Amino acid sequence: RGSAILRELRRLGIEIALDDFGTGYSSLTYLRRLPITWVKIDRSFVSGVGSSLADAAIVEAVIDLSHALGLAVVAEGVENMEQLAELRELGADRVQGYLFSAPVLPSVLEGFISKPWAGATGIVLPRTEHDLRTESLPGHGGPRARLLLSALDAVSDAVAVFDAKAPLFENRVVYVNSAAEDLLSIDAEDVEGELFTDTFQVEAPGEFGLTKFENAARSSLVARGELSLGPKGGTMRPVDVTFTALSDSTGMQTNWLATFRDLSEKKALAADRGRLAHAIDRSGTGVALYDALTGRISYASESLETMVGREGNLLEMKPDQLHRLHLKSPILTIQEMNAVKHFKQSHPEWPSVTIDMTFPKAEGLP
């Protein structure tokens, strides 16, 4: 019953920490069974860091194990700068203890958390941009998050990461790579940390629009299709987008990974082809595009389909059917007309004339 309640809290986006790990009832079993996101190392181990090799080894092992499972780590009971420095070297994600303050009332707390290092003095441990960018990724700034960040920064595809605490298009943007910045005409610094709906304008074609994506995401944790997407107040462009769920080590979804592919050129080519086809059909000229690799016709004008009496299904003909087509209204030269006339006179019993048609290959074209 308790595990089910914790999982429901995680679905609501609430972080869950396992307290006093290493003592009492906290055991390795809970790391595997419960949907936790943070591990808090008991102060009895942390107090020995800096003076006990055994305690330092235990703390390092817990940190490494937690990070391998995609969990973040808080070290409890930090009281001096030596402990803080060593815990940072060991890879702890957070620390708490009297180095910063004794427990305080809620009314006093805001004054502490609004200051760097909660107002503690003598701490000079600047965090890098890389550290800050990994905090919202799966793994909470640990090795898993740092590895994911390095991979996303390196790919040439346009990708973004959103959290998964709300309906698909109402989540917060937590990461955008440089390729997505270029494609969508955005700046990562402006959009990371903001809600998707506050950052982008988005439209989906078809009767169901964005609802199709929402339903697919809920049912299969993957959603793919075409969107018109752009920054608020900016230019929208057609993109093919795939949303894929990212999960932690317990199987709980933590984020959405979105991959974008620009469809602008494809749309432009389709529009050009449509205009060309319309112009050809209006001209009454019989035109076909023949694919020499497959042996099929990839395009046929309406006029050509009318000529050969195959309205609507010329593209469905098999290669071995294409070399003999019955022309209703053949367009022939004078010599060809005379040849056909002579043939008809010699074979009056034939109800129609069959002409062998060939499709020559132009230089450099299929």
Would 98 be classed as within a structural domain?
yes
pLDDT digits (tens, 9 = 90+) for 355-366: 444 444 444 433
Among 114, 143, 171, the domain boundary falls at: 114
pLDDT of 250 reads 65
Residue range(s) defining the domain that contains residue 9: 1-114
Residue 312 in any domain: the answer is yes
pLDDT, position 125: 58
Do 30 and 100 share a domain, yes or no? Answer: yes
Question: For residue 327, what pLDDT is reported?
Answer: 43
pLDDT at 190 over 50: yes
243 pLDDT band, cuts 50/70/90, is very high
Q: pLDDT value at position 364? A: 43
pLDDT above 90: residue 284:
no
Same domain, 258 and 295: no
Average predicted confidence (pLDDT) for the chain:
78
Question: What's the CATH number where 171 sits?
Answer: 3.30.450.20
Other C-beta atoms lying within 10 Å of the C-beta of residue 71: 25
pLDDT tens for 164-181 read 888 888 899 999 999 999
Q: Can you give the pLDDT at residue 41?
A: 93
In a domain, 41, yes or no: yes
Examine the pLDDT at 113 and tell me if it is beyond 60: yes
Which of 265, 284, 305 is the last residue before a domain boundary?
265
The pairs formed by 14-20 with CB atoms below 8 angstroms and a separation of 24 or more are 17/74, 20/76
Strand partners of residue 224: 242
Query: Considering the domain boundaries, does residue 345 fall inside one?
Result: no
Q: 60 and 5 share a domain? A: yes
Selection from 31, 161, 153, 45 nearest residue 92 by Cα: 45
Among the residue ranges 110-124, 225-239, 290-304, 352-366, the one predicted with the least confidence is 352-366
Same domain as 85, residue 194: no
Is the residue at 356 inside a domain?
no
In tens, the pLDDT along 244-275 reads 988 876 667 888 999 999 998 888 877 777 78
What's the domain count of the chain? Answer: 3
Q: Is residue 108 domain-shared with residue 198, that is, in the same domain?
A: no
Separation of alpha carbons 157 and 234, rounded Å: 22
- Tell whether 365 is covered by a domain: no
| pLDDT tens by residue, 8-43 | 888 777 889 998 887 766 667 788 788 888 999 999
Q: Are residues 271 and 260 in the same domain?
A: no
pLDDT at 138: 74
pLDDT for the residue numbered 66: 86
Residue 89 has pLDDT above 90, yes or no: no
Q: Are residues 2 and 100 in the same domain?
A: yes
Residue 302 shares a structural domain with residue 257: no
- For residues 261 and 277, membership in a common domain is answered with no
Residue 197 has φ and ψ, to the nearest 5°, of: -70, -20
Domain of residue 14, CATH code: 3.20.20.450
